[in-house]
Structure 1
Amino acid sequence: MSFTPLHRALGLPPSILTDEILNAAVASGAVETDDLDWKSELPPIKNLSQTDVPKDIAAMANSGGGMIVYGVKENQKVATGRADTGEFSEGHERAYRSVAVTAIVPPVFGIEIYRLGINTRAVAVSVPASVDGPHLIYKNDYFGAPIRNDADTAWMKERQIEAMYRARFNERRRATDALDGLYRESVEEHDTSTRAWLIAAAHPRIPVLARPDRDEVRKIFERAREITLTYSNRSGIHPVENIDYLNPRPGLRRWTAVNTATGSQQWQEAWASVHHDGSVTLASAVGGHRKSADGYFDGWQVEGRGIEGAVADFMALIRATADALHTDEYEVRVGVEWAGDEPLSILTVDGSNFTYDGASTPLRRFTPVSSTITATGSDDSFQRQVHDLAEDCVNQGGITYLHMISEPPEADG
């Protein structure tokens, strides 16, 4: 579900955007605003980057996001009727998305495109709010930063550009501080002196103002359990299978799925949380796993597959949360915390699938891996991010190959 300027114009709650909603907005004479732009025709696919499309997208992104609707007639900014846009082909959509990335600096990611209507067709483009402004448009040797001014598009003055750059840098500091706090809090909640823990935290670049209920969060955890198996196998431990995902408990602006691995299974202890602002945390015991019916590794010995399984589940939880709470980019941090005296050792498996430490590089300290993750987009592009994050983690311990997470196909071209 989504809440668009069309929903706002009609006073509707969040829902799937439909042709009926567009018809109602037009019938009510909805007026263009800083986040709603009516256009009667689609731009031509040829030389799309030379049309007003880059300027329109950048202006919306610079103004807090909004929607461009093709296929609506207007008079003095007031919607007066529908106009058939014709077919909006897959090639047209690819070109449109490409313009948002290649003709604007920095790129605008995460636009959503809705095809509406059958006989009278329309295309609605939702441009997300951006924290990377100002987004600039280049024409030959000149550039400018467009912005919405009520129903019109204007160009930023120098002071406006300066203020937006300042806001960008302040946001990055705030996001870093928030991620630091999430990660540090999770580390402090677990005893890292007896066994190593994988700690993972993710904070959305643009936090949401949501208070999901228990049912919504339960569905997020259930969805994460499904997603993780689309790019990882069961040759190692999956932390999301060791949490009470059906009964998340309320916490301070969050819901927490508590550990269910107790008694003889305590070696695979795990905890996970979904925060009201869209943040996600996962903590999984990765040291001291069982190696035989009655034997265990030492607390500083960490199976590479244990790291892979935790990273796969963590990323699946981000993906599921982003889908449910309508977030997009995340700043993430993944680390292995160990406070004991022995150096940390990451273990791999040989050709016969036996665990060994011959390839390990002893670590006095595991350096947390940080990255920016785009939680929306194609399955293949997301899987690539999962693979690369896990690879960075195990490479640090001298391990080359992943054994649980499959490598996505190479992108065409």
Structure 2
Amino acid sequence: MSFTPLHRALGLPPSSLTDEILDAAVAAGVVEADDLDWKSELPPIKNLSQTDVPKDIAAMSNSGGGMIVYGVKEDQKAATSRVDVGELTEGHERAYRSVAVTAISPPVFGLRIERFGSDMHAVAVSIPASIDGPHLIYKNDFFGAPVRNDADTAWMKERQVEAMYRARFEERHHAAEALDALYDEAATGRDSGKRSWLIAVAHPRIPRFRNRLTREKAREILASTVGLAQTYAGRGGIHPLDNVDRDNPRPGLRRWIAVNTAPGERSVWREAWVSIHHDGSVTVAAAVGGHRMSSDDYFEGWQVESAAIECAIADLMALVRITAEATDNEEYDVRLGIEWAGEQPLTILTKDNMGFTYDGASVPLHRYTPVETTVNAGEPPLDFFWRVHEFAQDCVNQGGISNVLMIHPPARDGSA
């Protein structure tokens, strides 16, 4: 579900954008605003970068995000009627997304392009807010920073550009602080002197605060996450989500907590905790050192199987994607670390060609440096799958392990 400028103008609750909502907006004569722009026809695909499209996208992004609707006539900025813009081809959509990346600096990612109608076609392009402004466009030897001024597009003055750069640096600082707070909270109280703990957190870069998540919604998110996580990493390792109470999340401070369900001394090695915050943030804390190697033997607390890291990453990234959809978030900052306070150096274990545990390639770590990335949780499924793979590879590479064992996305061309 999403809450668009059309929902706001019509006083509707968050929902999927539909043809009926667009008809209602036209019937009500909704007026253009900072975050809404009516267009009567689609721009030509040829030389798209030379049209007003880059300026329109950059202006919306610089103004806190908004929506451009193609297929609506306006008079004095008010919608008057719908116009058929024809079919939006895959090539046209690809060119539109490409312009947002190649003709604007910094690029604008995360466009949401939606088609409407069977007889009367329309297209809505949602441009996300950004903490990377000001977004500039270049023409010949000149550049400028467009911005929405009510229903019009203007150019920023020098002081406005300066203020936006200052805001960018401040927002990045706040985003880093938010990620630090999530990580520190998830890591606090773990017995990292006895066994290694994997701490993984994700925070939306621009949280879109909505109503608090209900217990039922948190339960739905956890249930959906399990299936997606198993798509990413299969069932050949220890998934944190398999060791928490997904059916009965407990309330916490502006969050729901899936508490550990690994009971007793013989199962304590599988301990895990997962939380889903109302603002869309998620955390995973899982014991990854000292896992069982046979019915009677266990690894040492400083020995971590790479498969355990991959399973935790699959769970985290699936949780990010499902939670983002439920909370209408998109871009996330992600951090994964392994906390170990014992005397022995941390060692990441892999498997040899025969399937036996192997540490010959491991690089002993006296400190595991947290790995960070930024992901767009709304990007196409295959692209996101590859982000999961790349993140997992970075995480295991630090311990001297060359390849991931479990996370193998399909080739981008669709071949095996």
TM-score by length of 1: 0.98
Aligned to 2:362: 360
Aligned 1:13-28 pairs, distance under 5 A = 13-28=13-28
Deviation, 1:34, is 0.9
Looking at structure 2, the residues matched to 233 and 121 of structure 1 have their Cα atoms a distance apart, in angstroms, of 41
The answer (yes or no) to whether the contact 1:208–1:276 under 8 Å persists in 2 is no
The 5-angstrom pairing of residues 12-411 of structure 1 reads: 12-210=12-210, 211-263=212-264, 264-410=266-412
2:378 and 2:6 mapped to 1: Cα distance? 22
Q: Report the identity percentage.
A: 67
How far apart, CA to CA, are the structure 2 residues paired with 1:208 and 1:122? 26
Alpha-carbon distance in 1 for matches of 2:232, 2:72: 42
RMSD between aligned residues: 1.2
Per-residue deviation at 1:408?
Answer: 4.2
SS at match of 2:337: strand
- Give per-residue Cα distances to partners, 1:320-359, cap 9 Å, x unaligned: 1111111111111101110111111111111111112222
Structure 1 residue 21: Cα displacement? 0.9
Q: Secondary structure at the match of 1:68?
A: strand
Kindly tell me the number of residue pairs found equivalent between the two proteins: 412
Does the CA-based 8 Å contact 2:330-2:376 persist in structure 1? yes
- CA shift, 1:411, in A, is 6.1
Distance 1:401 1:31 in 2: 54
In 1, the alpha carbon distance for the partners of 2:79 and 2:30 equals: 6
Deviations 1:166-188 (A, max 9, x none): 00000000111111111111111
Question: Partner amino acid for 2:338?
Answer: V
SS at match of 2:94: helix
Query: Aligned partners of 2:358 and 2:18: how far apart in 1?
Result: 56
What secondary structure, in the 3-state scheme, does the structure 2 residue paired with 1:339 have? coil
How far off is 1:208 after superposition?
Answer: 2.3
Cα distance, 1:410 vs structure 2: 4.1
Query: Could you tell me how far 1:66 is from its partner in structure 2?
Result: 0.8
- Whether the 8 Å CA contact 2:382–2:409 is kept in 1: the answer is no
Question: Structure 2: which 5+ residue stretches go unaligned?
Answer: none
Query: Are the equivalent residues in 1 in contact too, given 2:262–2:268 (CA < 8 A)?
Result: yes
Q: 1:41-95 CA deviation, whole Å, 9 max, x = no partner?
A: 1111111111111111111111111111111111111111111111111111111
C-alpha distance in 2, partners of 1:384/1:114?
24
Q: Write the letter of the residue equivalent to 1:250.
A: P
Q: Compared with structure 1, are the counterparts of its residues 23 and 410 closer, same or farther at alpha carbon in structure 2 (3 Å cutoff)? A: closer
Matches of 2:277 and 2:20 in 1, distance apart? Answer: 34
* Structure 1: gaps (5+ residues): none
Query: In 2, are the aligned partners of 1:253 and 1:276 still within 8 Å (CA)?
Result: yes
Runs of 4+ in 1 over 4 A off after TM superposition: none
